[in-house]
Every structure is written in structure tokens, then in C-alpha cells.
């Protein structure tokens, strides 16, 4: 009997946008500017590869001819990488992020969501920098709304 490999989440990209990985890099740049991760980008013979490194754990997205898929393996930084994938999905589309049960990972990170619960103190700053949770970056991005409300 073979055991099905499982991960924390699965992602799949299908796009007609030629520079989609470069645009994804732009979406994630605030995380690097805040010193929360190191981003990398390589043009490989097999496609364009975007990498996000938290401490020494490196996560990768390889997209070739507008398509790519991968597994977010269980690790200390897996939940933070999933938040990055969600930010890319929200900003660019063309990427799906699902759990083992084939359920979409919610667009808004919440502490109560099982994937984020144990690592919330490290997930929250990433979500704030990417504008997915209230924080300085979120308030700056939506300044006009906050000025009218408060």
C-alpha cells in the first residue's frame, strides 16, 4: 500500500501573464524590505523561479510556460509561506492554494485558522506587511478610508 504524500498546502499556477513570477516578486517585496524574509528570483531553463527564505528554510515557486504546481511541506515557516501565496493570489490571481481536503485557504489570515494558530506571532507581521491584516502597512495602503472613519 502506498502512502499519499501530504503537505501543509498545495499551490497551482495557471496564467497567461508572461511575467507573472516577476509580478509575484513585486507583491512580496514588502516582506523583504521589512527584514522578515529574503526573496530570490532566477530565470532557469525550465522556467522562472521565485524563492522566499525564512531564516534558513527556502520555499520555491517554479512557473514555466504559465504553469506551475507545488507542495508547501511541513516546516517551521510553512504557514508564513502560505500567507505569501495568499497575498499573491489576492493581488494577481491565477494561483490556487488548497489544503489536503481540497479546501481553498482563506484570503484573510486569522489566528483561529488551524494552519496559522501555532505560528501566529510570526504569521501576523507577514500578513500586515502584505496588507492582509491591519498594521502600519495596511493603514498606509488604505489611508483615505481610515482618515474618513477616524
- Per-residue model confidence as pLDDT tens digits over 80-129: 999 999 999 999 999 999 988 888 999 999 999 999 999 999 999 999 99
Q: At what angle do helices 120-129 and 78-92 cross, to 10 degrees?
A: 20
**For position 30, what pLDDT does the model report?**
96
Tell me the whole-structure pTM to 2 decimals. Answer: 0.86
pLDDT at 144: 75
- What is the rounded average pLDDT for all residues in the chain? 88
Which sign does the torsion angle of CA 53, 54, 56, 62 carry?
negative
> Rounded to an integer, what distance in angstroms lies between the CA atom of residue 110 and that of residue 88?
17
Q: How far apart are CA 16 and CA 27, in angstroms?
A: 18
Q: Is the pLDDT of residue 70 over 90?
A: yes
Between CA 11 and CA 59 the distance in angstroms is 12
Cβ-Cβ contacts under 8 Å for 93 (sequence gap 6 or more): 15
Amino acid at each position: 500500500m502506498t502512502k499519499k504524500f501530504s503537505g501543509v498546502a498545495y499551490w497551482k499556477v495557471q496564467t497567461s501573464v508572461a511575467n507573472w513570477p516577476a509580478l509575484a516578486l513585486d507583491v512580496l517585496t514588502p516582506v523583504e524590505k521589512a527584514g522578515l524574509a529574503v526573496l530570490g528570483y532566477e530565470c532557469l531553463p525550465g522556467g522562472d523561479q521565485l524563492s522566499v527564505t525564512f531564516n534558513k528554510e527556502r520555499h520555491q515557486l517554479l512557473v514555466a510556460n504559465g504553469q506551475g504546481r507545488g507542495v508547501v511541506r511541513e516546516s517551521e515557516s510553512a504557514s508564513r509561506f502560505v500567507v505569501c501565496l495568499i497575498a499573491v493570489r489576492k493581488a494577481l490571481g491565477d494561483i490556487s492554494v488548497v489544503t489536503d481536503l481540497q479546501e481553498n485557504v482563506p484570503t484573510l489570515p486569522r489566528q483561529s485558522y488551524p494552519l496559522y494558530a501555532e505560528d501566529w506571532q510570526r504569521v501576523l507581521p507577514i500578513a500586515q506587511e502584505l496588507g492582509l491584516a491591519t498594521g502600519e502597512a495596511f493603514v498606509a495602503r488604505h489611508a483615505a478610508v481610515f482618515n474618513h472613519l477616524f
